[in-house]
Amino acid sequence: MNWIGRLPVLPLALGAALLGLAPFSPQPHLFEKLGMLLQGTLSRPVDVFDLLMHGALPLLLVLRGLVSLRARAS
């Protein structure tokens, strides 16, 4: 987990915002695919790939924050 703690926050946050919210209209793909996942309709490989692509940087940003909080606590 050391490599996650070394990720720069600003570029990670910028990438997470841009890729996580793209396309901005009518609904971001990440929210659409998460809704499909919760409904159980996420079955096509292209939809799973879309979820992974649009969700990777936001997930890394969350993990980076958790690693930072854990490092401060200890």
1: pLDDT confidence band, cut at 50, 70 and 90?
A: low
Give the single-character DSSP code of 42.
-
Give me the helices (H) in the chain, please. Answer: 2-5, 9-21, 29-39, 45-73
**Non-local CB neighbours of 4 within 8 Å, separated by 6+ positions:** 60, 63, 64, 67
Q: What is the spatial distance between Cα 52 and Cα 29, in angstroms, rounded to a whole number?
A: 11
Q: How confident is the model at residue 71 (pLDDT cuts 50, 70, 90)?
A: confident
For 3-62, what is each residue's pLDDT tens digit?
888 899 999 999 999 988 888 788 888 899 999 999 999 999 999 999 999 999 999 999
